[in-house]
Amino acid sequence: MDLAFQQFGSHGEPIIIMHGLFGSARNWRGIAQKLSKNAVVYTVDLRNHGASPHVKQMPYSLMAEDIVHFMQQQNFQSAQVLGHSMGGKVAMQLALNYPERVNRLIVVDMAPVTYTHNFNDILTALSNIPMETISSRNDADEILKKSIDVLSLRQFLLQNLVAKESGGYAWRVNLDSIKSNMSNIMGFPKENKNVTYTNPTLFIGGGNSTYLAERYLAAVKTLFPSAQVDILKGVGHWPQVEAPKAFLSCLEPFLGVD
């Protein structure tokens, strides 16, 4: 699949950044600009997100193949790869399936495990917004706040709302596909249990988040035996947003772009 992307910088080793569920390439623009002084940084829209195509299937194996295809299109054989949340699982799958393609791996607040929760309440809330009749994002926000009381989360989700030329609004994310693939998204392929990725690996977690809790570190070390784990205190699931300086102080030395 041809993925939409943004490029920052023109020289140095390539870095590919992959966003999380309901996100897009634009979420990582600030970090990408910082890293682009000494690297060529690509932020991609994963399938069913941003400006990339909408399709029915989105297992991690195919999403990893999308990144390999992207590398082929850009004419480089390997890259440093960073993924956050769902994008972190894509990055891990890429490293396990195509280790020769990944020089260094960075996973942000995610582990190679199956999580028990899901996002069906968010999907329901988004699906209940009458897209053909709302006249502004404020209208959508007023409806959404009945189900989601956290303003920052609503603002993040509403970045996916786009106006149509014919009137009304549409979602950039493929809500139907995400809903039907939720068990895949929250899981991690079992066939990975017999493989490892041994190149330099960094896991960055938020101390207030449970996605990279201590109980998951055994699974991390099993598949990524060389993994370094840095937990940033006082931040949650989006350390790159909540504490960008601390995040970059972990990331830049590992990437060699500081």
Catalytic residues: 85, 176, 237
Contact between 225 and 203 (Cβ < 8 Å) = no
Among candidates 88, 91, 93, which has minimal Cα distance to 79?
A: 91
Report the distance separating Cα 87 and Cα 244, nearest Å: 18
Q: What are the backbone dihedrals phi and psi of residue 240, each rounded to the nearest 5 degrees, phi first? A: -70, -20
> Helical H runs in the chain?
29-35, 60-74, 86-97, 120-127, 137-144, 151-158, 175-180, 182-186, 217-223, 239-242, 244-255
Report the distance separating Cα 57 and Cα 78, nearest Å: 25
Among candidates 4, 6, 64, which has minimal Cα distance to 30?
A: 6
Query: What b/e string do you get for 56-81 counting C-beta neighbours within 10 Å, with b at 16 or more?
Result: eebebbebbbbbeebbeeeeeebbbb
How far, in whole angstroms, is CA 126 from its chain's centroid?
A: 19
To 5 degrees, how large is the angle CA 236–CA 149–CA 143? 135
Report the distance separating Cα 80 and Cα 78, nearest Å: 7
Tokens of 111: 């582990």
